[in-house]
Amino acid sequence: DAAAAKADADKTYQDVTGLDGELQDMLRQLQDAENQLKKKQSEADNDMMMANMATDAAEEAEQNARKAKQSVNSVLTTINDLLNQLGKLDSVDVSKLNELERTLEDAKSQLRDSDLDKKVAQLEESARSQDAALLSYQQDIDQIIKDINNLEDIKNTLPPGCYNTPIIEKP
């Protein structure tokens, strides 16, 4: 009887010890999953910040493009006004013609000084790189969200109460 009870107690002890080991493994896995989740959330926050910065840069590039367009439109308006005035001349007034030439030269100079071709090329390149960065950030965010969901699934599959394990006394 005593030998059977002792054997029973030893078997129970081995079972409990085995369960304790499994529980400790599960706790380690849970801790690892929580650490990975925190890391992925931090990465997602970082990527979101970078995406916001790229969006801000894209908005600034758009504003610069609008300014460049306004500058071109202003010069075109001046040139069209000059052409209209030239078309309305009945007799050639040399002083008015000289004034028109100066205005035309000023408009050309303004157009040259604005260096629009270079600015437009820079804006287009900036827009392309920002689009690529935004796409990359979106892909990173999508992957991080998948990873977070996976980690949450792992966390949810752990049995309830495995966070607070009672201490098992060992003989």
Q: What is the CATH number of the domain that holds 106?
A: 1.10.287
Q: 149 near 44, Cβ under 8 Å?
A: no
Residue 164 belongs to some domain of the structure: no
- Cα–chain-centroid distance for residue 96? 57
Residue 142 belongs to some domain of the structure: yes
Flag whether pLDDT at 171 surpasses 60. no
User: Could you read off the pLDDT of 53-63 as tens digits, one per residue?
Assistant: 888 888 888 88
Residue type, 81: D
CA proximity to 168, closest of 4, 7, 8, 12: 12
User: Could you read off the pLDDT of 73-130 as tens digits, one per residue?
Assistant: 888 888 888 777 777 766 667 787 788 788 888 887 877 777 777 777 887 888 888 8
- Distance between first and last Cα of the chain: 20
User: Could you read off the pLDDT of 2-20 as tens digits, one per residue?
Assistant: 888 888 888 988 888 888 8
Residue 54 belongs to some domain of the structure: yes
Question: Residue 7's domain spans which residues?
Answer: 2-157
Measured distance CA(141)–CA(46) in Å, rounded: 10
Residue 67 belongs to some domain of the structure: yes
Flag whether pLDDT at 164 surpasses 60. no
Residue 119 belongs to some domain of the structure: yes
pLDDT band at 166 (very low <50, low <70, confident <90, very high): low
Flag whether pLDDT at 47 surpasses 60. yes
Measured distance CA(165)–CA(12) in Å, rounded: 18
CA proximity to 131, closest of 85, 74, 62: 62
